[in-house]
Structure 1
Amino acid sequence: MPEAASAQATRATIGASEFDRDTALVQREPGVYDIDLSAGWTIISAVNGGYLLAVLGRALADALPHSDPFTISAHYLTASQPGPAVVRTETVRTGRTLSTGQASLFQLDERGEEVERIRVLASYGDLDSLPAHVRTTAEPPAIPPIEQCFGPEAAADIRLPSGGPAPVDGSSAIADRLMLKLDPSTVGWALGQPSGKGEMRAWFGLADGRDPDPLALLLAVDALPPTAFELGISGWVPTVELTVHVRSRPAPGPLRVSITTRNLAGGFLEEDAEVWDTQDRLVAQSRQLARVRLS
């Protein structure tokens, strides 16, 4: 069998991929779910915020009468760790086209006391029922073809010109689960030559070939290296708050993600993200407030 055909034959399907298994919850009672947060979605030692958002998004999809996230806002209260967690949901309001709920994820700390890690408020609906009419001035990001882009520095297989730099300290397990190819114009930080523009662009997908869906969009907006790297700042950039708007169900194939930062002040920066699918549709947008460790 040709290599391309073999790869296509082994592609994971929605509902049967590692992402689906690692976001699966077990209902303990109505509105309450148990999950074992996978170490496969960590950055250094903390669980990735986009993965956490997908976990809570999946819990709300089960608890609410509508299944698709339209808007979801998360406050990250304490760093989540791999291991057991419980998600508690509450239905705030239900309507004909939209339902609103909130959810929180809890873990036990070293003293055995329950600690809230993340809290979200979200509105859900039916993406397939939305009208097809679009009127926009937004344009897809100009990213080179995927074969001309580079894997993240956390991945072991990156090869930049002149041999490339050594991997960034604190490599992350999540990189092995993503197909992430960065626009060469946004990887100056990896060579010690950050552009200072606060931009990051990449092709995004799951490593096992699973096509994107609304839950995967919640992961995509928080999967790229921080824009702070291109501002010449290294180190952890923890998320304080993240709001995602899902605009459409994405078409099959890799996504294009563009993230920009315009203002770093007082030790905080914003990241504005756009996610585009293979049909040149803007399928998700987000804004994140993150803390920057300047020293």
Structure 2
Amino acid sequence: MKARSRATAGKPAAWKLAFSTLAFVAGVTTCCNCLPDAGRKQPTRLIILVPGTFSKNSEWSRVDVPVPTLAKSLRQQLRTTDSLVAFQWSGQLSHQARLDAAIQLADYVANQRPQFDEIHLVGHSYGGSVALAASGQLNERVESVICLGTPHVYVKCCASSEPMNLPVYCPPSTLENVYRIITIDDVDDRVVDEISNALLCGVTERQALDATKPWELPFGEITPAEAKPTSTQRLFESSNVFASRDFKFADVQIVIDHNQAHLLGITPHTRLHDPAISQLLLRVISLGGE
């Protein structure tokens, strides 16, 4: 697998798909020309599903429930050499809960790595943050982290007197350890931007700055940005901490537009782990490593 520096990578590819025509992404695999050749031994793959906040034992990540789920749909379409598991964590809306979950997930991935050629982490909502943070703690590579509707948390700060926004759950080691980072969002999903910012990210400014300390090596000493008043009352302590659907280090950004607005945008957020998403996920996973 080729290593690639995101510091010199171009702008992430942005895909906009109609919800009813997810098969369109099939063309991407042809263009990338990175699917296994017919005569080549297919790699063994482990796909780990990571639920988000308030989603411990969430049905979408399970195959042992009587209703259709994303996990079931994926399982039916995977090869016999593939494995699918759900990583369950507390799901608490708290920075420390995410860090604790990331440590546990990293330990699990490290133990499973020798048994598989490829490992893919699929996290919904803040489960994507857990997957990114866990990847930064590994001593080996994972093929992909796929974030479904993840509110990517940033802290506004200064490094070497230059203002910048640094990702709280993605240290430089994550970029080294993950071959491909992919974000999948729904255009009507208001949770990733509006609701997360108006209510709660679960991270204080001090916690966010501590989490971004690894960025001091490339950028220099990190200090808080000047606090600015916001028009919306926040339930955490600083306007310097915010969430966004845009992830500056993503290799591919996919936006789904199913042309249906819903109250608060919560339904589009949960539709990102609908069984219908399985075909898109498998296409993305099958991009594999180059």
TM-score bracket, shorter-length normalisation:
under 0.3
Structure richer in strand, relative to its length: 1
Q: Which one has the bigger helix percentage? A: 2
The TM-score, its normalising length taken from structure 2, stands at 0.25
Q: TM-score, normalised by structure 1?
A: 0.24
